[in-house]
Structure 1
Amino acid sequence: MKLAFIGLGVMGFPMAGHLQQAGHQVCVYNRSEAKAKDWAERHGGSFALTPALAAEGADMVMVCVGNDDDVRAVVYGEQGVLAGIKAGALLVDHTTTSAMLSEELAAAAKKQGVRFIDAPVSGGQLGAENGALTIMVGGAEADVSEAAEVLSAYGKKVTRLGPVGAGQRCKMVNQICVIGAVQGIAEGLMIAQKAGLDIPTMIDVLGGGAAQSWQLENRAQTMANGEFDFGFAAQWMHKDLGICLDEAKQQGLTLPLTDHVHKVYETLLEEGFGRCDSTVVIKDLASQKK
């Protein structure tokens, strides 16, 4: 298929590469032209100077940028995706955004005869590089079914959760569960370290019981070691939790844990830890030690 991929960050760069390797004809766009050129040289695809030019003639256009405003910047306007995409094409947004934005995009696309699905991903940079992402999708069944075969180039699991917006709401639940595990591990490690427990042994023991989780297996030791120069950045988790809290407010709900950790990230960002892995929340606890 002829595809376009908009946004070549730590996730988008390898995701677009998997599409090209799967035999599709991929044209990419990135705010940094140098990165787009680099991608084309590495993977053999092409690049365009605007999202509109990248989207011209494409059967599907994938977007993977930073936040709601970033998505609007590449989709709308004279140089945006909707200015170049053909009628009948499918627009796929992999960005983690508000569900309201997904509904807004679906309406804007429909006016031009373009279909839309929201498809946020989970699995981080490693999952993107290995083509093993979990993709949570909202949209019409036929559109999701059509997209699934293409998205399987980098998604080990592509699942429809419901209409447009359902994928984003599922991603919100994912992020809340992740930070719940991370915060719990951080607090547990404080006790373990204070008590002088052997951390690798403890992690191995807990991994065989009800406390087992991806976060425990992959992040507990690095948290204990004070290593945070990798993985999903704290600034992005802070953004995602803000989206969760906005959605909760719209639904008349309160999320005490999410609200607390969101404030922790806010403090950590102010202290310059925004680019650190999101497990850096343990630093907040460590700073409270007496």
Structure 2
Amino acid sequence: MKDVKQQLLTGERALFKAHDLRIENSTFGDGESPLKESTNIELVQAIFKWKYPLWYSEKVLVNDTIFEEMARSGIWYTSDIQIMNSTFQAPKSFRKSNQIRLKHVHFSNADETLWNCSDIYMSTVEAAGNYFCMNSHNIIVDKLSLVGNYGFDGAKNVEIHDSTLITKDAFWNCENVTIYDSKIVGEYFGWNSSNIKLVNCTIESDQGFCYMDNITLENCVLVNTNLAFEYCTNINAEVNSTIESVKNPISGYIHANHIQKVIADDADIITTNIKISDGQE
């Protein structure tokens, strides 16, 4: 592997089709697509200042690196990339990429980041931005801090642990999502999704859990949650708190410490298909 050290690299496609390079303490200045079509690249303490740094790349290891604000749309159509101890100021940082590993990464502007990607592993990641992880699949997350609406819209095969998600309209249109030991704050959680399971979680969600199929809550706390479970099927909910109100669930089982109000105002729903129990009964 050849070394590139303390270089200022400028101009369009500065290291086009580079391979077997270790790039250290170097800055990529003005010039689009500096590492397009690259293979087997290691980046250490690098700085990217301009657009499209890693497109159509393979086998990339990134450590202690900064992607500045104009390094937008930075990693598209790329496979087998590992990023550690790094910071992204740029939006739209991943698109149609796969085999992505992120550890100790901060996305200060995560708008439209990780779209249509697959085989993602995240550990100790901070992200602020809307539409994070949209339409991506095969995702494992540990210790994600997300602030931004519409998180994980359209995602499939997701497993999340020990995370804090402040995100309205999160997990819409999803399939096969399991969340453990996490806190979720945001209105309208999970609409139009199926096979969703939350274990040991705290959720604050006005009109959350509606239009869902096969929704499971195990040992969860629902805070400030009303009009929940509207038109949901195959519910299995064990809630260790008060639910402000439940509205027109279709089938399954709901148990809570207390349910302040049950609304059943749709004559088309067969109420014998849903069992609702209150710990204060």
TM range (shorter): under 0.3
Q: What TM-score comes out, normalization by structure 2 length? A: 0.24
**Structure with the higher fraction of residues in strand conformation:** 2
**Structure with the higher fraction of residues in helix conformation:** 1
Larger Rg: 2
Q: Which has the higher contact order (CA 8 A, sep 6+)?
A: 1
